Amino acid sequence: MKPFSSKLSVLLLISMFAISCQSVQKDLLISSMDESARASIEELEETIVRLEAAPAANALASARRKTEELEKEGIPDADFQALLAAWSGRLSLLENKTPDAQRELKKSQTLAPGNWPAVLLEARLERDRQKRLIIVDSALSLEDLAAPAGGESNGPGELSLERGRILLELNRFAEAVASFDLAFGLLEGKPFYREIYQPARDRAWELHDIEAGNKSITLMQHEWIDWKDLIEITKTETDLLRFLTAGRDWKAEEIFSRLLDRSFIPPTQDISLTEWPQTKPKIGDEVLRSGAAWFLWHLYAENRSNRGLLSRYASRYANTPNARSPIQDLPLLSPFFDSILGCVESEFMSLPDGKNFNPGEKLRGSAYLAMLKKLAP
């Protein structure tokens, strides 16, 4: 048994040495380049990451031209060419050119196996979220195995950031928050990552302790919700619409139409208007904080069987000499006055800065559910 044990030990040492060398190679990808080449890759990285967050045709074309210019320069550095190929592949995904992205991935992996931009490109090409997580976790595990004895390696921050993105999609919110926070700490030298992904991190934080059904969880991950989403969340998470549906499983479109007819949906969400417009809102219109306040307050009054709540504050202030609105950006004569003030005083909603309501802000699903839970705990 001893010869076999010795052989196994040698094989393990060789394996660990290979992993260590691979990690060292990855660590030197940027540092071994000259200043100009390194700057070009870092500039391309920021450009593409920003484009992924906010695609723009002109900027996309400009980034492609820049990539082609760098390719034509023919810089004789395999590591540079590997990173350039990986970022070119990410750009191809934005251009909806998957075969090109796959070709660039193969090129990058051949030139510099294990480089992190190629790992991220491979993950982005994989459609199955669980498999994407395995790709990223495997790369991070290699980084940890290759860490110096007694040391700690969290791998490139970009890998932890990608892990956070995937975990958010998998509804593993607490883990996503941890990955995002780790990534932001590792990427302090690249502040654009925090700028772009802070909203995703905040969304994960808002959802990490919320109990909700799978359908609502999916809706709450949207950057903002429309009236259809609002109705689906209300219907799924509460019984507040039973006065209308009597338990019947109506589609959101039917509920929206009936709510609109009964003035639970405001004709406009512009609080500065004192007369309603002739046009009607659509179910796909985004919900603003003003619209959410109107809906919630009318829902509250209905479920309390107290329609007097809908004019409580306007009546009170109408009898007050030289009255002024207690909320800076809420006109005293606005049709939304009662709804907004009622939601604030009842603590269903808040004043973000203590003075203003910010009625024109779009509403995230997670924020709406938190308000809804206060209305119907």
19 shares its domain with 126: yes
Q: Which domain holds residue 112?
A: 10-207
pLDDT of residue 211: 60
Compute the average pLDDT of residues 148-161: 63
Residue with tokens 């090129």: 107
One-letter identity of residue 95: E
pLDDT of residue 19: 41
DSSP lists the bridge partners of residue 85 as none
- Listed range (66-75, 116-125, 255-264) with the worst mean pLDDT: 66-75
- Listed range (41-55, 131-145, 224-238, 332-346) with the worst mean pLDDT: 131-145
Q: Which of 342, 363, 373, 355 is nearest to 289 (CA)?
A: 363
DSSP lists the bridge partners of residue 57 as none
pLDDT of residue 156: 83
Dihedral of alpha carbons 97, 103, 107, 113, sign:
positive
Q: Does the pLDDT at position 144 exceed 80?
A: no
Compute the average pLDDT of residues 155-176: 91
pLDDT of residue 237: 86
44 shares its domain with 73: yes
197 shares its domain with 285: no
277 shares its domain with 166: no
Q: Is pLDDT larger for residue 86 or for residue 29? A: 86
Q: Which of 271, 268, 286, 279 is nearest to 338 (CA)?
A: 271
Number of Cα atoms under 13 Å in the Cβ half of residue 92: 20
pLDDT, tens digit, for every residue of 118-140?
999 999 999 999 999 999 999 99
What is the pTM for the complete model shown?
Answer: 0.64
Q: Is pLDDT larger for residue 2 or for residue 45? A: 45
pLDDT, tens digit, for every residue of 313-365?
998 888 888 889 999 999 999 999 999 999 999 999 999 999 999 999 999 88
Q: Which of 196, 195, 199, 160 is nearest to 180 (CA)?
A: 160
- In this structure, is residue 265 part of a structural domain? yes
Q: Are 164 and 183 in contact (CB under 8 A)?
A: yes
* Of the residues 178, 207, 236, the one at which a domain ends: 207
C-alpha span between 87 and 188 (Å, rounded): 21
pLDDT of residue 11: 38
* Of the residues 181, 207, 233, the one at which a domain ends: 207
DSSP lists the bridge partners of residue 362 as 288
What's the total number of domains in the chain?
A: 2
pLDDT of residue 118: 95
- In this structure, is residue 74 part of a structural domain? yes
Q: pLDDT band at residue 146, thresholds of 50, 70 and 90?
A: very low
- In this structure, is residue 147 part of a structural domain? yes
Q: How far is CA 214 from the centre of its chain?
A: 17
C-alpha span between 228 and 104 (Å, rounded): 41
Q: Does the pLDDT at position 254 exceed 90?
A: yes
pLDDT, tens digit, for every residue of 73-112?
888 889 999 999 999 999 999 999 999 999 999 999 999 9
Q: How far is CA 357 from CA 195, 296, 334, in A?
A: 24, 15, 13
202 shares its domain with 225: no
